[in-house]
Structures are given as C-alpha cells and as structure tokens.
Amino acid sequence: MKLFDATLGKIETALDLRLERQNLLTSNVANADTPGYVPRDFDFAKAMAEAEAPLAMAQPEGQSGSLAHAGAMAQPQLANTQPGFDQNRVDADQAMVALAENGLQYGANAQAANKKLAILLYAASDGTT
C-alpha cells in the first residue's frame, strides 16, 4: 500500500469541482435581477464520476481535466423554475440553499483532507502525536 494513496487526489478533485460549482451558484445569485437570465448548475456526482474516469483523451497543457469537464457540463436549469415577468428564472431560495449546501460540502471535503493528513502525521510520528 502506498503512503499517499488515491484519497487525497480524490478530495482534491472534489474540492476543485465544489469551487467550480460555487462559482456558478454565485453567478446565479449575482444575476438574480438580470432580465432573461437562466440559472446554471451542474450535477456534482456526474462531474465527479467523469473526473474520476481514466482520461484517455489528451488534456491541454496546464489544465486539469476535471475543471474543463465541469465547466462544459454546466447546464441551464430550465426545469423546476418559473420565469418571472422579466423572464428571469433565478429562484432566490433555491439559489441560496444550493450555495449554502455546496459551501458545507466544501467544508466537509476540507475536513476530510485534514483527517487524512492527520492520519499520515500520526503514522509518521510513531504514534506520538
């Protein structure tokens, strides 16, 4: 078994995707009053699965595969939303809940990274810390 196994890499991908999603959700909140704006979002689980899949295709230099995929996966959320009189489809409650939820998940992932590092530290220090 390797010391630095896949766990930290997975957490890193998850954090990246959560931040990417946070950016989209933030822009939905910022455009809550823009006429004709349709909120965008992507399915985190799907994006994660896609990022985890071994990427056969070559990635552009200096660009991680997961982020490019997540951005491309962002879909306008037309279902479950009613357009306002200005054709804006942002539902303030939905947008804020998604924002808070995504932020919490990010925190959970960050904590998971902390735990993993703590385990490594414990092992590295002969169990004295």
Partner 1 sequence: MDFLSALNISASGLAAERERVDLATSNLANAETTRGPDGQPYRRMDPVLQATPFESALDSGVSAGAQPMGVKVLGVAVDQTEGHKVYSPGHPDADANGFVTLPNVNPVNEVVNLISAQNAYEANAAAIETLKTMAQQAISIGK
Binding residues for partner 1, per CB under 8 A? 15, 18-20, 22-27, 29-35, 37, 40, 60, 63, 67-68, 71-76, 92, 95-96, 99-100, 103, 106-107, 110-111, 113-114, 117
Alpha-carbon Rg for the chain, nearest whole angstrom, is 18
Q: With H, G, I as helix, E, B as strand and everything else as coil, classify residue 126.
A: coil
Instruction: Answer whether 43's CB lies under 8 Å from 74's CB.
Output: no
Residue 89: CB minimum distance to partner 1, A: 12
Residue 90: CB minimum distance to partner 1, A: 10
Q: Which is nearer to partner 1, 12 or 52 (CB)?
A: 12
Task: Count other Cβ atoms within 10 Å, centred on residue 19.
Answer: 14
